[in-house]
Amino acid sequence: MKARTAALIVIVCGVVFFVAGVATYAMVSTTLGAQNITVSEDASMFAGQHITQPWEAFAQANVINEHANKIAGGKTYAELPQTDPNRATVMNASFLQASLFTSVVAFGVAAMAAVLGLVLVVIGLALRSVANDAAAVTAPVSAKQTAA
């Protein structure tokens, strides 16, 4: 495979990764925002803000954890007896936390894909430049050989 073709493939892959990463980030943000979740007022950061970004989701998940720990006396859902009246509340808190942390991971993967896309575009452009320079250097040599 020629270097120019390889460069083009790397650039196209980079653009696809970048667009997919940005689109996924935007979709997760929009979907999370549509849930109308607000960071609790007792959060150490972003209190009262509408959750649309990973740092806000992370802050709310931490607050939910604090509240669940208070309700359960420091025990996890699995550690609570089945007869404990707070067990269902702690279970819901665990599910909400997991959901918010999953959105944080989705934001991270989307950002990583976008950055990887940019890196691939830069690599592709560099490969293309090297291929063009190599073609410029070898072209006059080939022309001289055919003339002789």
Token readout for 89 is 């509340």
pLDDT attached to residue 22: 98
The whole-angstrom separation of Cα 26 and Cα 121 is: 21
pTM for this entry: 0.81
pLDDT of 146 higher than 70: no
Residue percentage of the chain with pLDDT more than 70: 91
Helix 3-34 with 87-147: angle, nearest 10 deg: 160
Q: What is the dihedral of CA 55, 57, 63, 68, to 10 degrees?
A: -150
Residue with tokens 């979709």: 27
pLDDT tens, 116-131? 999 999 999 999 988 8
